[in-house]
């Protein structure tokens, strides 16, 4: 019997990847994708716990879904990091939910669905058998697009004092390189030209001797693969091997998301980042020596407990010193159970708002400058999909900028030189060179 499944995904690329895997483990049970929750027999919320009132959002979404449960018997499941962190609370506050499952247990979903329908009760699975997850999840079957994500690492041992990831995703676990390489080859055979390696702290990867740098070199040997990216990384885990890969592997794209969070040594220390602002400056120098056209992206948190005006100024200074092509910035949000949430000197909301606005203005200027600098130049674009207007294709530059140009459809999946004619805030327009 054909049944329909709707998955709503919140948060990071890791969740997007996990949602695809969940759809795949459920396919043999007859679940096909639904257009909307209303049309589905089962709805999964794949949740994110990293910031803001994540749990509250989940409860209000569950409130909206409840009538579906009551009227059509829709199976409701909550997956992801909120499920991991607040599983028991979800069952207490939303007893109509059938299944609550943490990120390490997705391979057991079919069994949980069966148990939920038999028992009529709840299934709560939030264990941490990390090694199992990758071993038991089927590999991607759907034809990949031109660009594909590939999870190589999960969890984190860094324990930044603001972050829930070490609690929700558990200890750092690297997938064996042979598994990664096998999946990569299959993705490329299926048509992928670019792979983005995913992990909460992907450069802590140790599934191969020589770490991420060595893995990148092995991946670069795959014929037909044009581009390699990885995200997200920690400054402390950029080793010589990775620097050398940036210098010597042309398929490794010259764009790096390397979160620094703050430019103040005092705050970096309180965040337990285990490096100083100048260490980051020096590291960026070395990366740029290895790959002179490297562009950088980062994450920033404003209003971490105890952050003074001077600390915030130090962050602005760091941003001016480095010059970012792009960045994400957030107001600090206390996450229950993390050390920083218990600190007394919480920064008032109004100050966080003000600092965020100043920081984002500076970052937007830098992004605009970075984009404007490509105007008149010819850049290599990997065309991924049709553009918004007929006769156009859209793709990305080596620096992850969105580019569109008039181009015939047979250039999809190809890397093509494009002369950039104009730069908007979020995309570049060009013509085939
Ligand atoms: N408050 C605000 N931002 C956070 N991040 C992680 N935890 C918090 C928090 N408690 C941000 C960090 C991280 C990104 C993924 O989310 O900048 O790099
Ligand atoms: Fe969280 Fe990243 Fe720090 Fe790990 S390195 S604790 S995932 S912010």
Give pLDDT, residue 274: 97
347 and 400 co-located in one domain: no
Asked which of 108-112, 186-190, 303-307 is least confident by mean pLDDT, the reply is: 108-112
101 and 237 co-located in one domain: no
The pLDDT tens digits of the residues spanning 224-265 come to 999 999 999 999 999 999 999 999 999 999 999 999 999 999
Which band of pLDDT confidence, cut at 50, 70 and 90, is reported for residue 370? very high
What is this structure's pTM? 0.87
The CATH number of whichever domain residue 424 belongs to comes to 2.40.50.140
Q: What residue numbers bound the domain in which 59 lies?
A: 3-125
Residue closest by Cα to atom 2 of ligand 1: 332
Answer with the one of 125, 148, 174 that is the final residue of a domain: 125
308 and 387 co-located in one domain: no
102 and 162 co-located in one domain: no
pLDDT reading at 124 higher than 90: no
Which band of pLDDT confidence, cut at 50, 70 and 90, is reported for residue 53? confident
179 and 242 co-located in one domain: yes
The CATH number of whichever domain residue 52 belongs to comes to 3.40.50.12160
The CATH number of whichever domain residue 333 belongs to comes to 3.80.30.20
Residue closest by Cα to atom 12 of ligand 1: 299
Token duo for residue 202: 């992907």
113 and 231 co-located in one domain: no
153 and 75 co-located in one domain: no
pLDDT reading at 49 higher than 80: yes
Question: Which amino acids bring their CB within 6 angstroms of ligand 2?
Answer: 156, 158-160, 163, 165-166, 200-201, 234
DSSP letters, 114-161, are HHHHHHSS-EEE----HHHHHHHSPPP-SPP-SEEEEE-EE--S---T
Average pLDDT over residues 168-185: 94
For residue 301 and ligand 1, the question of a CB distance below 6 A is answered with yes
Distance 163 CA to ligand 2 centre (A): 6
Distance 242 CA to ligand 1 centre (A): 24
Answer with the one of 356, 372, 388 that is the final residue of a domain: 372
Q: How many domains does the chain have?
A: 3
84 and 147 co-located in one domain: no
Answer with the one of 341, 372, 403 that is the final residue of a domain: 372
164 and 204 co-located in one domain: yes
Average pLDDT over residues 76-83: 93
The pLDDT tens digits of the residues spanning 210-228 come to 999 999 999 999 999 999 9
345 and 395 co-located in one domain: no
Please state, in angstroms and rounded to a whole number, the distance separating the CA atoms of residues 150 and 274. 28
Specify the higher pLDDT residue, 122 or 415.
Answer: 415
The pLDDT tens digits of the residues spanning 190-206 come to 999 999 999 999 999 99
Give pLDDT, residue 135: 67
Average pLDDT over residues 79-100: 91
Average pLDDT over residues 6-30: 90
282 and 181 co-located in one domain: yes
339 and 217 co-located in one domain: yes
Closest ligand to Cα 271 = 2
Distance 209 CA to ligand 2 centre (A): 23
């Amino acid at each position: 019997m054909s049944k329909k499944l709707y998955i709503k995904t919140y948060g990071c690329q890791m969740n997007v990847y996990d949602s695809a895997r969940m759809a795949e483990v459920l396919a043999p049970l007859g679940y096909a994708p639904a257009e909307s929750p209303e049309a589905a027999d089962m709805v999964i919320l794949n949740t994110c716990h990293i910031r803001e009132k994540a749990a509250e959002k989940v409860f209000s979404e569950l409130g909206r879904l409840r009538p579906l449960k009551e009227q059509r018997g829709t199976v409701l499941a909550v997956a992801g990091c909120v499920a991991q962190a607040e599983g028991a609370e979800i069952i207490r506050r939303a007893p109509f939910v059938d299944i609550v499952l943490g990120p390490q247990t997705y391979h057991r979903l079919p069994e949980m669905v069966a148990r939920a329908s038999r028992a009529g009760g709840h299934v709560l699975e939030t264990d941490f058998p990390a090694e199992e997850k990758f071993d038991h999840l089927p590999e991607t079957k759907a034809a990949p697009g031109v660009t594909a994500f590939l999870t190589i690492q999960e969890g984190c041992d860094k324990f930044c004092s603001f972050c829930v990831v070490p609690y929700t995703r558990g200890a750092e676990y690297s997938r064996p390189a042979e598994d990664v390489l096998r999946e990569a080859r299959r993705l490329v055979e299926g048509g992928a030209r670019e792979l983005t390696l995913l992990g909460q702290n992907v450069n802590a990867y140790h599934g191969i001797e020589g770490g991420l740098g060595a893995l990148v070199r092995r991946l670069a040997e795959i014929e037909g693969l044009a581009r390699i990216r990885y995200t997200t990384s920690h400054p402390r885990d950029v080793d010589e091997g990775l620097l050398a890969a940036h210098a010597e592997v042309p398929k490794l794209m010259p764009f790096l998301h390397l979160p620094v969070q703050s430019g103040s040594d005092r705050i970096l220390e309180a965040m337990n980042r285990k490096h100083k602002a100048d260490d980051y400056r020096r590291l960026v120098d070395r990366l740029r020596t290895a790959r002179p056209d490297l562009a950088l992206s980062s994450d920033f948190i404003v209003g971490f407990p105890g952050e003074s005006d001077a600390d915030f100024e130090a962050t602005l200074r760091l941003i001016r010193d480095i010059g970012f092509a792009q960045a994400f910035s957030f107001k600090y949000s206390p996450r229950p159970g993390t050390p920083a949430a218990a600190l007394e000197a919480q920064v008032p909301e109004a100050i966080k708002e003000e600092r965020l606005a100043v920081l984002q203005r500076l970052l937007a200027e830098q992004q605009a400058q970075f984009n404007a600098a490509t105007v008149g130049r010819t850049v290599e674009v990997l065309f991924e999909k049709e553009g918004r207007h007929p006769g156009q294709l859209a793709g990305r530059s080596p620096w992850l900028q969105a580019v569109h140009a008039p181009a015939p459809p047979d250039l999809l999946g190809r890397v093509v030189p494009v002369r950039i004619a104009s730069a908007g805030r979020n995309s570049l327009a060009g013509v085939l060179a």
